[in-house]
Structure 1
Amino acid sequence: MNTKKLIPAASRALERRAPSPLSPLLHAASFETLDRAAQATAARFTQGISVHAQMSAWIDWAAHLAQSPGRQLELSIDAFSSAARLAHFGLHNLVSDKAARPFAPEPSDRRFDDDAWNSFPFLFFEQAFLAQRQWWRKATREVRGMRANNAARVSFLASKYLDSFSPSNLPWLNPVVIEQTRREAGANLLRGFEHFVEDFFDAATQSQNGESGYEIGKDVAATPGEVIYRNHLIELIQYQPTSETVAAEPILIVPAWIMKYYVLDLAAHHSLVRYLVERGFTVFMISWRNPIAEDRDVSLDDYRKLGVMEALDVVNAILPGRRVHGAGYCLGGTLLSIAAATMARDGDARFASVTLLASQTDFSEPGDLMLFVDAAQVAFLEDMMWDQGFLDTYQMSGVFMALRSNELFWARAIKEYLLGEREQATDLMAWSADQTRMPYRMHAQYLRGLFLENRLTAGRYAVEDDVIALKDISVPMFVVGTETDHISPWRSVYKVHLFTDNEMTFVLTNGGHNAGIVSEPGHPGRRYHLAVRAPNDRYIGADHWRERAKLLEGSWWPAWASWLERLSAPDRVAPPPMGAPEKGFVPLAPAPGSYVRQR
């Protein structure tokens, strides 16, 4: 028998590549590659969500609940009580509209705000839904013995599943949709269908900024300036001064690479960059390249070296001998803190201060994002990124949409597809839709090293083979947390107090991860808490800090600008030239440059 005919092509290829007999190491590597390819294929169908990670949480919950007769009895009694209260409410509303509602929505839940929900039977539909939601919230509480993270994950998934069947999302149970349809004789549904078809076919190709009416370089990212340096990973923008004199120390801003930088340079009336320039600061901004598959091996430390450190070198070439105010937003702040700690370890004193905007340094309490991250989920994402070379935009946006599905998905779907009303675009919405990819190696290192293993504050994060410590940062810090942040919860941001001993000004502002930072003076309803920690002060817990901190009305931007001015040299100087032509740093293109336009 000719055994060669029975050997698959892949096995024969391995025979040609390796000596006979095949080495066990090569066998193991091949089998692992097959496993990773299978995982990557599965990930394409689930958009990177690990089915195993989700199911293991449900199994953990169900197994422990099955062994807890006391909890089962408690839930049975609660179900009977809720049904009785709901029936009592329904019967009273048949004869009277004065019965008190037994179930109340959460303060942030706006689905039932319209007065139309106050009439029967729609009020009963609302109460029946809220009763179910309340019962499931109790049912998915942690059961003794199960993992706390699994309990939180099950609670989150149950909540999102129930939200899918909210009466507000069902056109035949939503009185607002019913009335609009009656008034327009169904024309709203026809418009909504047209909107749905447009969105369906344009999702992969439409230019979000162009169609939203916000053009990069004209309506957003429009503060005048020049790109004065470019490498494989960044363009460095230097902004044009608007005053005859400026503060001696410049500001280098390190934005997150998960989105385009211009969240800090939106429309003119609420551009943080423009505000700083008009206050007499010399501002430099890093604009990150949008990576492609060929960038798969770009590392997290490459972002530090090619991003923060090379940008700092260019700033120092333009302004030799000047110290620099470093400011980082979101992941950019995490990277800036790593760079600052490394510089402190190595005796590099070029930073005059460090500002962290909605940035985490400790990831032990990362908030709702942790519901999507455990060892199984990280491995699943790693295999998907290993296969395609990067984490794609739609694979990440789905996670953020799931965190706030009521506001980001269902509310929009009802308005545009059922009521037939296109949502009015804003510059912040246009920026949010302008997403970026992340290279495989960098994102895997970030997820595993920081998010999952929390190495930075555990004394296990090494840069160039030597561990760094945040407590080595001695320059003053200005740290901003936002009250309703789902990405960087403010209590997690506040934990930087535990790992530093320097002077720290901490600000807690109202708003979320983006809107709390884009908080220009004059914005209605803005307020913030502020307190200063002196070096070596005793630690105060986050909630006690909020009770003691001074509450101020308005935007926190002026407080930050005053803080920067206090840390700058007393004498103002003439604005620096654009770039440093004698050192090879010449203007390459007008701001915002080319990297921000990459798709």
Structure 2
Amino acid sequence: MATEDQPPGSVRDAQFERLNANLVRIDELSKRLTAALSKRKISDPSLHGPSGDVFLKAMTAYMTEMMQNPAKILEHQINFWGKSLKHYVEAQQQLVKGELKPPPDATPRDRRFSNPLWQTHPFFNYLKQQYLMNAEAVHQAVEGLQNIDPADKKRVEYFSRQIVDLFSPTNFFGTNPDALERAIATDGESLVQGLENLVRDIEANNGDLLVTLADRDAFQVGHNLATTEGAVVYRNRMFELIQYRPTTETVHETPLLIFPPWINKFYILDLKPQNSLLKWLVDQGFTVFVVSWVNPDSHYAGIGMDDYIREGYMRAIAEVRSITKQKQINAVGYCIAGTTLTLTLAHLEKAGDPSVRSATFFTTLTDFADPGEVGVFLNDDFVDGIERQVAVDGILDRTFMSRTFSYLRSNDLIYQPAIKSYMMGEAPPAFDLLYWNGDGTNLPAQMAVEYLRGLCQQNKLAGGTFPVLGSPVGLKDVKLPICAIACETDHIAPWKSSFNGFRQFGSRDKTFILSESGHVAGIVNPPSRNKYGHYVNPADAATPDEFRAGAEFHTGSWWPRWGEWLAARSGERIKARQPGDSKHPELAPAPGTYVVVTPAA
């Protein structure tokens, strides 16, 4: 019998039963939530926000501006209040007419407000318009600050934008039409499921809240992620070395060794066959090795940059040379691994060691004079807090790193996922890239502090004073052929800063490629997708703007262009090599064991 044919009492009885069942679930979930929150570890307050000095400087600058240029401040205030009052009057006029429609709306389009009710319903439209007016007023006030240090102003701009984004009406259940409609349509089931999703995330992160971005049950590393065939052929306490099986009868003589960042796991380069850079390289006839870094726990507290260089980079280079019987290898470094590859290459050059024939850098910063948006987290208020916290924990916990990078794109990686999960009760999507993004790693205490202090804050690599195994090195010490790939909208390693470091290398043979898109999508950009293009400039540009002005745009992926560059520096073709040798037996099939180990909390 259809619902509309049932007696009214039956419908009410069914709704009553669902209500009672949901109340029981809410009670159970509330108990779980309380238990989960009780496990939250107390951490240094500085890890959760900037010091009050940021806003004190902003207020001081604003007051100074008010004293020195009162007309400008008054004009700004009158403009804001004028718009707000006009908006209020127009809304009242519509109500007086008895028309249930909003007043004229000249606010800019914003994808957060895509529900039609934001445009058609007087209440929601009023909230949206007033919020966007408020946001514009805050932006103009901060943009107009004159009596403030540029670095401080950048921080004020960033954190004020975070506050404005936080208070968007879409982020609150009572003022989110999508969430309200969903709750009504499901008789409140969406709210119960949302609470369950919230409890699940807090339980999974030991009392901290970190939104799950992807369905954790949809993927398994080694089964439907990181499936390129290969084997672990060496292992020490720092990394597993994976060699991939050839798919061609012959290969280039010079092997390729890839160092991914140890902030995340290596399989970003091997998500699935269709977008795997590792598989693509194997199919082009390269003997490919990749380092899979250990995910450290507190026992690694004393591991520093020297340990990563000596037991990681130099050891991996030596093992690849031994396995392939080659005097030289080609190397790749991605992000922080590219920065550390630079340190290693500078040290090898000064030591007279020619083990590396050429090097490629993916989205790598080597000059931190302008680290971009992430620089707002590199002041002493945050770094001092990190140093205090890692002294207690022995590691910089992955949740802090994940949260920090997520806030660089808070609407996409925090608020929108939270709305869908906690307000709408939706399950997270089965998205491989977001799954990888949530599969983070810890950083050893000593290494984290050395990186943040010596490289990010003090910029010692660009200054030629960063110590490696007892001796200072700098960018000019790197003299072998290099290729750098930067990404146009990279919010972690800005391409202009990447270019500025690239220019300072001592190499004569230098190639710079600018890919469209961001830090990950610009790199994981297979030719088959034909999605993002890239720029090259055959001239010797001195500045990023000069490079961009004279650059040639090419449609499609940069992979084939780099493949040709790499092939020209990889020797003759020889019979394909199988993983390992008599001294390097296959210890485990790829993707290895380190990539799936989660250290104990």
Shorter-chain TM-score tier: 0.7 to 0.9
Output the CA distance in 2 between the equivalents of 1:215 and 1:44.
32
Aligned partner of 2:55 among 55, 58, 62: 58
Aligned partner of 2:523 among 507, 517, 520: 517
The reply to whether residue 576 of structure 1 matches residue 577 of structure 2 is: yes
Q: Note if contact 1:290-1:436 (Cα within 8 Å) is conserved in structure 2.
A: yes
Give 1:484 deviation, angstroms.
Answer: 2.1
Counterpart AA for 1:503: D
Counterpart AA for 1:515: A
Q: Note if contact 1:229-1:585 (Cα within 8 Å) is conserved in structure 2.
A: yes
Tell me which moved more, 522-531 or 433-442: 522-531
Q: Secondary structure at the match of 1:387?
A: helix
- Which residues in structure 2 correspond to 1:95-134 (within 5 Å)? 101-104=105-108, 110-121=111-122, 122-134=124-136
Aligned partner of 1:381 among 383, 386, 392: 386
Q: Note if contact 1:85-1:102 (Cα within 8 Å) is conserved in structure 2.
A: no
Partner of 1:478: 483
Output the CA distance in 1 between the equivalents of 2:104 and 2:499.
40
Tell me which moved more, 373-382 or 70-79: 70-79
Output the CA distance in 2 between the equivalents of 1:364 and 1:554.
32
Q: Note if contact 2:358-2:482 (Cα within 8 Å) is conserved in structure 1.
A: yes
Give 1:392 deviation, angstroms.
Answer: 0.8
Aligned partner of 2:567 among 549, 565, 568: 565
Q: Note if contact 2:530-2:555 (Cα within 8 Å) is conserved in structure 1.
A: no
Counterpart AA for 2:581: A
Give 1:410 deviation, angstroms.
Answer: 0.7
The reply to whether residue 249 of structure 1 matches residue 254 of structure 2 is: yes
Partner of 1:212: 217
Output the CA distance in 1 between the equivalents of 2:164 and 2:494.
25
The reply to whether residue 504 of structure 1 matches residue 506 of structure 2 is: no
Tell me which moved more, 57-66 or 79-88: 79-88
C-alpha spacing 1:245/1:430, structure 2 compared with 1 (3 Å): same
Counterpart AA for 2:164: L
Give 1:187 deviation, angstroms.
Answer: 3.2
The reply to whether residue 588 of structure 1 matches residue 593 of structure 2 is: no
Output the CA distance in 1 between the equivalents of 2:272 and 2:200.
27
Partner of 2:296: 291
Q: Note if contact 2:245-2:578 (Cα within 8 Å) is conserved in structure 1.
A: no
Q: Note if contact 1:65-1:71 (Cα within 8 Å) is conserved in structure 2.
A: no
Counterpart AA for 2:139: R
Q: Secondary structure at the match of 1:478?
A: strand
C-alpha spacing 1:180/1:452, structure 2 compared with 1 (3 Å): same
Partner of 2:550: 548
- Which residues in structure 2 correspond to 1:336-485 (within 5 Å)? 336-485=341-490
Counterpart AA for 2:485: V
Counterpart AA for 2:439: D
Partner of 1:34: none
Structure 1 residues 376-412: Cα deviation after superposition (integer angstroms, max 9, x where no partner): 4322211211111111111222211222211111101
- In the alignment of these two chains, the number of paired residues is 547
Tell me which moved more, 396-405 or 117-126: 117-126
C-alpha spacing 1:161/1:185, structure 2 compared with 1 (3 Å): same
The reply to whether residue 598 of structure 1 matches residue 597 of structure 2 is: yes
C-alpha spacing 1:386/1:194, structure 2 compared with 1 (3 Å): closer
Tell me which moved more, 54-63 or 407-416: 54-63
Q: Note if contact 2:255-2:330 (Cα within 8 Å) is conserved in structure 1.
A: yes
Output the CA distance in 2 between the equivalents of 1:116 and 1:237.
54
Tell me which moved more, 154-163 or 179-188: 179-188
Counterpart AA for 1:117: W
Partner of 2:24: none
Counterpart AA for 2:451: Y
Output the CA distance in 2 between the equivalents of 1:100 and 1:210.
41
Give 1:192 deviation, angstroms.
Answer: 2.0
Give 1:185 deviation, angstroms.
Answer: 3.8
Give 1:446 deviation, angstroms.
Answer: 0.5
Counterpart AA for 1:491: K
Gaps of 5+ in 2: 1-39
Output the CA distance in 1 between the equivalents of 2:549 and 2:126.
39
Output the CA distance in 1 between the equivalents of 2:225 and 2:45.
30
Q: Note if contact 1:50-1:376 (Cα within 8 Å) is conserved in structure 2.
A: no
Output the CA distance in 2 between the equivalents of 1:112 and 1:84.
24
Partner of 2:533: 527
- Which residues in structure 2 correspond to 1:42-81 (within 5 Å)? 44-46=42-44, 48-49=46-47, 53-68=50-65, 69-70=67-68, 73-81=71-79
Give 1:364 deviation, angstroms.
Answer: 0.9
Counterpart AA for 2:52: M
Output the CA distance in 2 between the equivalents of 1:258 and 1:179.
40
TM-score (normalizing by structure 1): 0.85
Partner of 2:157: 155
Output the CA distance in 1 between the equivalents of 2:423 and 2:134.
25
C-alpha spacing 1:562/1:422, structure 2 compared with 1 (3 Å): same
Q: Secondary structure at the match of 1:593?
A: coil
Output the CA distance in 2 between the equivalents of 1:495 and 1:72.
40
Counterpart AA for 1:74: K
Aligned partner of 1:325 among 319, 323, 330: 330
The reply to whether residue 265 of structure 1 matches residue 267 of structure 2 is: no
The reply to whether residue 277 of structure 1 matches residue 282 of structure 2 is: yes
Give 1:46 deviation, angstroms.
Answer: 4.5
Counterpart AA for 1:589: A
Q: Note if contact 2:330-2:359 (Cα within 8 Å) is conserved in structure 1.
A: yes
Counterpart AA for 1:320: K
Gaps of 5+ in 1: 1-41
Counterpart AA for 2:449: A
Partner of 2:33: none
TM-score (normalizing by structure 2): 0.85
Counterpart AA for 2:76: D
Give 1:332 deviation, angstroms.
Answer: 0.6
> How much identity, in percent, do the aligned residues show?
32
